[in-house]
Amino acid sequence: MSKVFSFSPDYQDCINANEVFCGGTGYQIRLENGKEVYSWNAFGKKNFICTLNNEAEHVYPDYSLYPKLTKDTAFGFLTRGCPRGCSFCHVSDKEGRRSIKVANLSEFWRGQKNIVLCDPNILACKDWKQLLQQLIESKAKIDFNQGLDARLMTEEKAAMLGEIKLKEIHFAWDRYDDKDAVLSGLKLYSSFAKKRPHDHNAIVYTIVNYDTDIEQDLERIYTLREMGYWAYVMIYDKEHSKEVYKHLARWVNNRTIFAVCKNFDEYFEKIKYEQRMEW
């Protein structure tokens, strides 16, 4: 059964259970012509939008299961779904083409100093103002661990984000063709940003090996750096990607290397010299 998929194989050891459910995203994605397609379950049958039942969505998490990872930290979703429907992303197929509120902050946070938000597109939700206000009033350090949609940035949204006590914030610039809208939103955010974790405006997820060439990838990386943002390279289908993309990710995502070596050509020439590699 696992041969159908390109992800990790099934758990191989004996499980002492009457019934085992094969759940999770890995069982619902397969490669077709080099592209990840969501909508297939472990038995090769068509799936539909997968949502949690009401009890599961609203139950307070049992943080005692992972005490070290959740020490003084709350994790959760305020919203689910995304209207974008990007072809490299399975969120809209899994959760729907609308960003909808599914919880208040109090449902998974009870005074912890840190909050990690996993929302796919909170700025697209009609209740964004109410939800951002809850984060401001919590006075907790917030980590937006998914890429916020800079294309939806407004002065009001940027101002409210600027009032949040940030531990980390991420945006995304995945489609090169969205350049004008993304850069406009990032400029707007940087003008209101009061908190700059790690001395930069934000981290910007940047997908490569999908529908851009290396020159467009480098343009995005250099442009973001000039604006005071840090790109974070995400390799699509890393297992089958060209070697150059792995070097690109190592150069950008290793902040020490990126700070010292300002130009990818310079970095790559050193790598080729040291490893006698060609691409």
Residues 40 and 131 in one domain: no
Quick one: 12 and 82 in the same domain?
Answer: no
40 and 80 assigned to the same domain:
no
The boundaries of the domain holding residue 18 are 1-48
> Minimal CA–CA distance to 85: which of 60, 139, 121?
121
Q: Tell whether the model's pLDDT for residue 30 goes beyond 80.
A: no
Based on the fold, state whether residues 63 and 41 are members of the same structural domain: no
Confirm if 247 and 268 have CB atoms less than 8 A apart: yes
Whether 99 contacts 121, CB under 8 Å? yes
- Domain boundary among the residues 33, 48, 63 is at 48
Euclidean distance between CA atoms 183 and 60, whole angstroms: 38
Q: Is 177 exposed, middle or buried, given 0-12, 13-18 or 19+ CB atoms closer than 10 A?
A: exposed
pTM score of the predicted model: 0.84
If you average pLDDT over residues 237-265, what whole number do you get?
Answer: 91
Q: Is the pLDDT of residue 173 over 50?
A: yes
Q: Nearest-CA neighbor of 125 among 87, 172, 89, 157? A: 157
- Point out the least confidently predicted range of 39-48, 113-122, 135-144, 148-157: 39-48
pLDDT digits (tens, 9 = 90+) for 178-206: 999 999 999 999 998 776 777 788 999 99
| pLDDT over 90 at 108, yes or no | yes
Give the end of a domain, one of 48, 66, 86: 48
Question: Residue 264 sits in a domain of what CATH number?
Answer: 3.80.30.20
Q: Are residues 133 and 180 in the same domain?
A: yes
Average pLDDT over residues 259-268: 88
Q: Given 48, 67, 87, which residue is the final one in a domain? A: 48
Residue 21's pLDDT is 65
pLDDT of residue 38: 67
pLDDT reading at 2 higher than 50? no
Output the DSSP codes for 220-258.
HHHHHHHTT-EEEEEETTGGGS-HHHHHHHHHHHSHHHH
All residues at 6 or more sequence positions from 210 whose CB lies less than 8 Å from its CB, including other chains: 88, 174, 236
Q: CB atoms < 10 A from the CB of 243, how many?
A: 12
Q: From residue 12, give the alpha-carbon distance in Å to each of 2, 15, 23.
A: 11, 9, 16
Rg of the chain over all Cα atoms, to the nearest angstrom: 20
* Residues 88, 38 within the same domain: no
Would you state the pLDDT for residue 55?
A: 86
| Same-domain pairing of 41 and 93 | no
247 has a pLDDT exceeding 90: yes
- Residue 202, φ and ψ in degrees, nearest 5: -175, 165
Q: How many domains in the chain?
A: 2
Residues 53 and 43 in one domain: no
**Which carries the bigger pLDDT value, residue 53 or residue 84?**
84
Both 73 and 191 in one domain: the answer is yes
Q: For all residues of the chain together, what is the average pLDDT? A: 87
Judge if 109 and 43 occupy the same domain: no
Q: Are residues 122 and 18 in the same domain?
A: no
Residue 148 has pLDDT above 50, yes or no: yes
How many percent of the chain have pLDDT more than 90?
A: 62
Please indicate, yes or no, whether residues 115 and 181 belong to a single structural domain of this protein: yes
> Are residues 151 and 185 in contact, defined by beta-carbon separation less than 8 angstroms?
yes
Residues facing 141 on adjacent strands: 114
